[in-house]
Structure formats: C-alpha cells, structure tokens
Amino acid sequence: MRKLLKLLGFVFLCMLMVGGVYGFKFYHSFKDTVETIHEPVEREQPQEEEPAVLTKREPFSVLMLGVDEREGDQGRSDTMIVLTINPNNDSVKMLSIPRDTRTEIVGSGTEDKINHAYAFGGVPMAMDTVENFLDIPIDYYVQVNMEGFKELVNAVGGITVQNDLPFTSGDFNFPMGELHLNGDKALSYSRMRYDDPNGDFGRQERQREIIQAVIKEGASLSSLSKFPEILEAVGSNVKTNLTFEQMVDIQKNYKDAGKNIEQLVLNSQGTIIDNIYYGLVTIAEQKRIQDELKSQLEVQTDS
C-alpha cells in the first residue's frame, strides 16, 4: 500500500528554520546526523546555473521526494514537492506535483508519469525531469523514506489535528473533532481521498495540517527531551545534498520565510492513454506555474 504524505522532507527543513535552538543545544549530535544523511548528487544534465548561495541569502529551491522503497526495488517517488524559498519577501511557495503527471522523463527519451523518473534514474533523473517540467533551477533535494514519517510523528510524541470530516481509512476510524494521532494513524489520516468530496484537495489540506502539527511539536521546548529520537528518525530515513553548513545558513538566513507558507495547485486533467491513467497539464497551466515559481526565485520569466 502506497504511503503518501506531502512534504515530510519539508517538516525536516522547517524544523531547521524554526528550531534553531536544537542546533546550539545539541550541536554535535545534530552535526553527526547531518553528516550521516548527506549524499551528494551527480547530475548528467549540464546545469545552466550553480545552486543558490545560501550565505548570500539568494532564493533557492528544494525538491522533496517521498519514496516508497521496497526490497530489491528502488521504488518510486510517490510524493514530489518543490519548495521555493525567498528571503527577500520572507515566503515559501510549495508545489505538489501529482505523481501521474505526464511529462518528458529527461535522460530516458520517453514521456511517462513524472514519478517514474526516480524509478528509472534515481535522484539525478528526478531532479532533471522536474527542472525541465517547471523550467526553474532545482538547487537541492531531500529524499525521505515514507515509512520514516511514522517514526518522526512518534518521536515528537504524536500530533493533534482538528478533523472536519468523519471517515474511515485503513484500520482506523476518524470522527469529527480534535484528534491525537500516532504515526500509524497520521499516515492513514493523510492518505484518504476517495471518500472526500474535495478529492485530492481535501487530502492536501489534511497533509498540510499534519505537517504543521509535526513542526509545532518538533519545535516546542517540550520536545527537547525527545531530540535524540527525532534525530534518529531523521538519520534513518532522510537523504539530502544539503551540508551541515548550508543547513546552518538556512536556519540563520531564511527562518522568517518559514512563517509564510503558500501552497500552489497544479491543475491537470485525468485521461487514459494505452490503458494507463495519466494527468495531463495544459501548456497554459504549465506556464502559469512556471511563471509563479520563477517570480518567487527571482529568475527571468519568458515574455
């Protein structure tokens, strides 16, 4: 069963932005964890620009990959999120790319579902494909094993959400009202969409609520005692090309941006091609999203 949760990697990034106290109180443990999860990426596609320089407070982008890994199989990036962070307007814009979006898979010479890029060529091909689809530079990546989401929720002691739609998902029943969720329940809560009258939009709203709850719990002073468990969950389930020094720069130079987060929506039309379901994005819709992200990153927009 696929486990989808939007922006687990973003939880990690936001904890750096809002939870700088950890970097000082647990400096060495934090640094050791970052060194464990650091994994540089070599991309075959020539890059037009170098990654943003975080010490100079340049806008930058991050591709978040939520990967459902299986034994003997690299897995697919069933969750793909692009974050664009701008310290000049203190904002973050995040775009969730539906996994069924049909596009060119850069490096394979085919058109396919965008989440197949990771299956075909790992992080490098995923970054190249998303960069081509959105026509913006992708500076960094954070890859998360989606099973790790449960560990992170449990590490912060569970989360509290306000549920507006009673439903059953998996083995759990979610009544209306305030709910306290452990890791297993949070995953199940985030996945439901078929019984939601708002479909994917309703699921995205629940995912965003969970993310905010994890950030709130993880950044609270009460979580200081749980910090070793949080670091263990991160170290076991996250990979990134961000270095420790770059993460420190994010906490120092970009933390105010984490207080202003806007979610963008990419509209697509479902269709069947050769008995396979795809989400088709019109040229006009693709350009609309590209222009908005380019503006956020302060890169040139095509006229």
21 lies in a domain?
yes
104 lies in a domain?
yes
Q: What is the pTM of this model?
A: 0.79
Is 9 a residue whose pLDDT tops 50?
A: no
Which pLDDT belongs to residue 6? 36
Which pLDDT belongs to residue 22? 53
Structure tokens at 33: 């964890």
Report the domain count for the chain: 1
Please, which contacts does 196-203 make with residues 24 or more away whose CB atoms are closer than 8 Å?
Answer: 196/165, 196/167, 200/98, 201/265, 202/165, 203/4
Q: How confident is the model at residue 73 (pLDDT cuts 50, 70, 90)?
A: low
Q: Residue 106 contacts by C-beta under 8 Å, 6 or more apart in sequence? A: 45, 117, 125, 128, 129, 131, 132
302 lies in a domain?
no
Indicate which CATH number applies to the domain containing 140: 3.40.630.190
SS3 of residue 40 by DSSP:
coil
Is 13 a residue whose pLDDT tops 70?
A: no
77 lies in a domain?
yes
2 lies in a domain?
no
Of 18-22, 72-76, 203-207, least confident by mean pLDDT is 18-22
Of 43-57, 112-126, 281-295, least confident by mean pLDDT is 43-57
303 lies in a domain?
no
Over residues 196-202, the mean pLDDT reads 71
Q: Give me the domain span that covers residue 136.
A: 8-297
Segment 16-30, tens digit of pLDDT = 444 555 555 567 777
113 lies in a domain?
yes
Segment 250-294, tens digit of pLDDT = 878 887 887 788 889 899 998 999 999 999 999 999 999 999 999
174 lies in a domain?
yes
Please name every residue paired with 185 in a beta bridge, in sequence order, or none if there are none: none
